[in-house]
Structure 1
């Protein structure tokens, strides 16, 4: 028998405040049509004053636990992927652990910006395969509204806040592509491209800073690297694009999503898209989309799913699994 990390449950949480595109026109030289045509985004959610990333993460975690029919004490580890943790330390994950009432297990954060959830998922898979944990709660959560420059129409219109969570559980497989669970992953980074997507603040500057992005450069790298990493992960799993039922990409920009699907030779009818309603929620976007895709009835048991993301670093990667 082969050990597999199988998906047991998913869930998500979005703050109550919905911010429509038209509201940006009150303070910026922009419009609903301008934003939609360049990004596909129509609206996004913003966290309330005093509402932190750990709070969003804990709410998504509870939704995933409910979906899985599990209690917090059934979880061995909590991994939170985020670039917008509430405090320098402790980690958002330990704050979620406390909020859930967990007194055992372990918790830590992963920081790979928009690729964070993919990196966290691959790490959780490794922990299960190595026997470190039987059940891992993997969360992507962000409050990007706290690091946006509200005078920069090229960035502030693109991002939103939210959280998504997924529970991985140890299961037995046959070692073939027919197994449920994670079948392969592919992780990459290249620090030479740091300056095309970064935040100009941090501990060493004693400032929070704002998100800065060279949009055209990010677009170019995203399309090329997302298609490459998806192909590599599928090859590792012994699968090809024609075997894929759903791509669940990082929800950054509809044009990137469409171009990547085309580069992989797949139609948009096999892509889960939520960017229009959430904007770019960074590490939260993939688990949010997985949860929404399941709720819509798109993702069904036994289907092959590819998740792929790229973020600041640059860091990028993908994971292939059977739902």
Structure 2
């Protein structure tokens, strides 16, 4: 018998405020040189939707914050798992910007968001260790990988892993890329299970590329030269990011599947981070091509939420999983014995994945 990490509960929080593409038609878009973009906004928005498939996204209400979303998702996951929160050994919160007030766009990281979530959950157990994990968009996947290490070592029996992000408040309103960003949170509870057969997390792989890639995503001031202050916003080199993802994610996913000792046809679902639908389509096609399979129908294996939820960073993958488990994606179902791949790519640059076998 061996110890394995199994997901016993999941939860999510999707903000109520819906922001449609039409809401950007009155924006004044500026390029990186501080020049007004002369293309009509109708054309900009139409092209944006063609490339990303994003039609709308969700923004957090002004009175709420990142840690609130993390708490809501955590509470739902704990209720789903039917456990006493006092029995948690670790709370890991993946995010990248901390709490950001609606009217003060500066990161608030003290105390850690994990401490705030533990406080909201009213957990008194001092042996429940709470800490944050900033790792770009792959933060939640990496949090699950860390939780697996704790469980496999015998150091933990139950770990709560949360991904919560409020990207709408770090988006430069004059940057076209601001249309990509969204808010949300997802969470799972992992538990140690003894089994003679492999179950739960089977294997994982992570890579970090920083030699020339570290600043493909970075923080910088607004493109608008007359912006009111020096607030830092998320900035990205979209072309470089696209190239990086296509060159690294398929290879890493294939390596992880091979490490699990299974084949591509054993994989029931690929739950992948979503910032650009065309990019994800290219990634999944390349994964199958490496295995000698071409022209697959990705809609059957790769569930997508980007058209309605946008890019909510660390929250994307756990939200996807929770939606499937709750029957909220009618075209996608998973059952005992199915193999899933969880994968992400983002700032760092970081890429990671793990193979999971449904108990």
Give TM-score scaled by structure 1 length. Answer: 0.94
CA contact (8 A) 2:273 2:345 kept: yes
Equivalent residue of 1:138, what SS?
Answer: strand
Q: What is the aligned counterpart of 2:175 among 139, 148, 152? A: 152
Q: What is the aligned counterpart of 1:305 among 320, 340, 345? A: 340
Q: Which runs of 5+ in 1 are unaligned?
A: none
Query: What does the per-residue CA deviation read over 1:254-312, in whole Å, with 9 as the maximum and x for residues that have no partner?
Result: 01111111011153111111111111111111101111122235232321110111111
1:1-323 paired onto structure 2 within 5 Å: 1-28=1-28, 29-31=40-42, 32-86=45-99, 87-104=108-125, 105-153=128-176, 155-174=177-196, 176=197, 179-192=198-211, 193-200=213-220, 209-265=232-288, 266-268=296-298, 269-295=300-326, 296=329, 298-323=333-358
Q: Which runs of 5+ in 2 are unaligned?
A: 29-39, 100-107, 222-228, 289-295
Cα RMSD, aligned residues only: 1.6
Structure number with greater Rg is 2
Give the distance between the partners of 1:81 and 1:208, measured in 2 at CA. 23
Give the distance between the partners of 1:298 and 1:21, measured in 2 at CA. 30
CA contact (8 A) 1:223 1:260 kept: yes
* 270-279 or 290-299, larger mean C-alpha shift: 290-299
Given the superposition, is the C-alpha separation of residues 65 and 212 from structure 1 closer, same or farther in structure 2, using an over 3 Å criterion? same
CA contact (8 A) 1:229 1:317 kept: yes
Give the distance between the partners of 1:132 and 1:18, measured in 2 at CA. 42
Shift of 1:64: 0.9
Shift of 1:207: 6.5
Aligned residues: 315
Give the distance between the partners of 2:341 and 2:74, measured in 1 at CA. 22
* 233-242 or 254-263, larger mean C-alpha shift: 233-242
Shift of 1:68: 1.4
Q: Where is the helix percentage greater, Structure 1 or Structure 2?
A: 1
CA contact (8 A) 2:52 2:277 kept: yes
Equivalent residue of 1:41, what SS?
Answer: coil
Query: What does the per-residue CA deviation read over 1:138-175, in whole Å, with 9 as the maximum and x for residues that have no partner?
Result: 0100001111101011x10001000000111000122x
Equivalent residue of 2:256, what SS?
Answer: helix
CA contact (8 A) 2:248 2:351 kept: yes
Shift of 1:208: 5.2
CA contact (8 A) 2:97 2:109 kept: no
CA contact (8 A) 1:76 1:106 kept: yes
Shift of 1:196: 1.3
Give the distance between the partners of 2:63 and 2:136, measured in 1 at CA. 22
Equivalent residue of 2:275, what SS?
Answer: coil
Give TM-score scaled by structure 2 length. Answer: 0.84
Query: What does the per-residue CA deviation read over 1:186-237, in whole Å, with 9 as the maximum and x for residues that have no partner?
Result: 0110112122111237xxxx96511111111101111221111111111211
Equivalent residue of 2:343, what SS?
Answer: strand
Give the distance between the partners of 1:66 and 1:199, measured in 2 at CA. 37
Equivalent residue of 2:137, what SS?
Answer: helix
Give the distance between the partners of 1:207 and 1:78, measured in 2 at CA. 34
